[in-house]
Amino acid sequence: YDDSSDLIGRKLIGIPSPLAAVIKGMQPETIETVRLSNSKIYLCSRLSFMDSGYAHPFVLIEHLTSEMVKAEKKAYEKVIRMIAHEVNNSVAGVNSTLDTVASMLEEESDDALHATADVLRVCQERCLTMSRFITSYADVVKIPEANLMLTDLNERVYACKEFMESMCNERDIRLHVQLCDECVQVKIDNVLFEQALVNILKNAIESIGSDGDVYITTTAKPATLTIADNGAGISPDIENKLFSPFFSSKPNGQGLGLIFISDVLTKHNCLFSLRTCDDGLTRFSIRFK
């Protein structure tokens, strides 16, 4: 809610807000840290005080997002840097040795030695894959500062349209781009924002699998961008974990994609959320300030 006065006199059950739903489900005299599907983090206290022999319940909500995100990022940045350094140094030495031995065996005429060389090449490729895997973790903490410039949002979306269509065509997914008639002026870093947009679309495509629909829409007042899909959807128990570091609902996911998107959109001062709505569509909604 943009205006807190809209909440005065209303009951929790009548407020269509994920945070209100969480607070309503809390037991009396409890305190919970809540992370929502818009990456916001709150410390919610459902307590009471005694006055004239009667208990007077109250709810205290503290916004912890910036502090928690900074603490989390500082912790996982340090861990990732240490792991990446050790793994890449070890892999470089092992790979060099594997390459030397494999080359020597390939020069021999013995078929058995050639077969061993093939095995060593497989091991070498596996080492490179592991190095690329850990490097992808390290890359997520190196996002540059956003160079924000006034841009027409519709133009940026349209500029990515051909590339996004090619991603969808590979899986027989139909892309529907519905841009508002007005010019939507927003301040964005074109490179960073397009990377985030591609990541959001990739998640939507993977959620669908094949033969589905993706809808991209913009509005001018307020300035918004929405990417919706008719994929599998997000269950309530997963929804509030989406922007947690290293959490992924995908079998082979690293839990980095949404962290990257969250960081980029935060650098753009955007409000955003990701949830499956009552109409069955999963929407990633972005609102520009």
pLDDT recorded at residue 137: 62
pLDDT recorded at residue 170: 85
Residue 46: other Cβ atoms inside 10 A: 19
pLDDT recorded at residue 145: 82
Tokens describing residue 139 = 């890359």
pLDDT recorded at residue 253: 61
Integer Cα distance of 174 and 262 in angstroms? 26
Q: What is the pLDDT along the chain (289 residues), one digit of tens a residue?
A: 555 666 777 777 778 777 888 888 889 899 888 888 777 888 889 989 888 888 888 888 887 767 666 776 676 677 777 777 777 778 888 888 888 998 999 888 888 888 898 889 888 888 887 777 777 666 666 677 889 999 999 999 988 888 888 889 889 999 999 999 999 999 999 988 998 998 899 899 999 999 999 999 999 989 999 999 999 898 887 887 787 766 677 666 656 678 888 888 988 999 899 999 989 999 999 999 8
- List the chain domain ranges: 4-63, 68-139, 149-287
Query: Domain 149-287 is in which class?
Result: alpha beta
pLDDT recorded at residue 30: 92
pLDDT recorded at residue 21: 83
CB 137 within 8 A of CB 131: no
In which element (H, E) is residue 208 found?
helix 190-208
